[in-house]
Amino acid sequence: MLRFYTAGESHGQALLAFVSGLPAGLRIDVGAINHELHRRQLGYGRGGRQKIEKDQAEIFAGVRHGQTIGAPIALRIENRDWENWEKILPVEASSAPEASSRKLVAPRPGHADLAGSQKFNFHDARYVLERASARETAARVAAGSFARQLLAQFGVRIASHTIQVGHIRLDRAAGWEEIRAICEDLESSLRCVDAQVQEKMKTEVDAALKAGDTVGGAFEIVAHGVPVGLGSHAQWDEKLDGKLAQALMSVQAVKAVEIGSGILAAGSYGSEVQDEISYDKKARKFQRGSNRAGGLEGGITNGEDVVIRGFLKPISTLRKPLGTADMVTKEPVKAAYERSDWCVVPAGGVAGEAMVALVLADAFLQKFGGDSLAETRRNFDSYGRQIDEF
């Protein structure tokens, strides 16, 4: 139903995003898109690139008079760094010395450099790393903002917070309001709900910087107000937990995904894990005393908050480089270094929020359909009555 693509190289002219499948009549707040883009640029442990860029979305198609018109949406985010790269990465063939000045032949272990160069038959990882780079997540975040704006119309909101940086973990659960507040706190260095734990996390980031190293971690995303019944148990590829896991895993450097208390559950008894069900006769509502399932049972949302975590490896560009083999000479060398972040957990969380929004919006439109927002709303309201009367 809802599809999106991105295009663009990290140091190319711009990033592009295409979104299609949104109903007509959805009011679009461009300021909200730019706000999400700004949030993606924040976080303690980011490299110099964020000082150059000031990401802003320019919409070219699919939105007129402030609302969607049922046509595909196209948008662009300019790369300010392009002026430094125009001669290095020109679109046209070039014999200028700059055009071969930034070849990368010493592949970084953990990056896409070597596998991508072998696959596409380049003896220069530049083309591969330009597209593998997480600069691409800016386009996802802009696309995701459309999905968020649709979901918000139906009371669904999404937020993330940092739960781990390196060896430092937040060892308590956080409530929705707390997460929402920290998510919007643009002053927060690592977007951790506990100020003391955050200070320890910052020390971990500082230690990595000092050692010429990098540090990973984890973020948790919560989708609040999700109606019961998105996704389906009926086919493997309709299961919403599977779709969410794939979407989050596709964020650069995410190497594991957990839904609810999935990892803890694997080492527990069934009686310790399942969320008991009761019925509130006054509110005429089923409810659960806990949410260890993370809002998903059988690949279907159950009306509780959807809770999903992404675990990021430490990124692979190290100032103190690891050993590698030169792609041309085949001799042992040190891996290439170029300007890089050293901790990206909060930014990874913002990219993850966008992916969760896009998957939930797609599932939402599969369930409720509608070529116009008014039609989607009628379907949603009618289903709401069915649930109330169940």
H-helix or E-strand containing 381? Answer: helix 373-389
Say if residues 154 and 227 touch (Cβ distance below 8 Å). yes
CB of 115 to ligand FMN, least distance (A): 9
Near ligand FMN by CB under 6 A: residue from 149, 198, 252, 376:
252
72 binds ligand FMN (CB under 6 A): no
Residue (41 or 274) nearer to ligand FMN, CB: 41
CB of 292 to ligand FMN, least distance (A): 27
What are residue 108's phi and psi, to 5 degrees?
-80, 125
187 DSSP β-pair partners: none
Helix, strand and coil content of the chain, in percent to the nearest 5, comes to: 35, 20, 45
288 DSSP β-pair partners: 277
CB of 245 to ligand FMN, least distance (A): 14
CB of 253 to ligand FMN, least distance (A): 4
In angstroms, the CA 107 to CA 115 distance is 9
Q: Which two tokens stand for residue 26?
A: 């959805």
Residue (73 or 351) nearer to ligand FMN, CB: 351
In angstroms, the CA 243 to CA 363 distance is 10
Near ligand FMN by CB under 6 A: residue from 7, 32, 38, 47:
47
Q: Which 112-141 residues touch ligand FMN, going by CB under 6 A?
A: 112, 132-134, 137
Pairing of strands 14-20, 73-78: antiparallel
Near ligand FMN by CB under 6 A: residue from 201, 253, 361, 363:
253
- What track of x and - describes contact with ligand FMN for positions 140 through 179 (by CB under 6 A)? ----------------------------------------
Say if residues 233 and 362 touch (Cβ distance below 8 Å). no
Query: Helix, strand, or coil here: 361?
Result: helix
In angstroms, the CA 283 to CA 346 distance is 38
Q: Which 325-344 residues touch ligand FMN, going by CB under 6 A?
A: 340-341, 344
CB of 9 to ligand FMN, least distance (A): 13
Binding site for ligand FMN (CB under 6 A): 47, 111-112, 132-134, 137, 251-253, 315-317, 340-341, 344, 347-348, 351
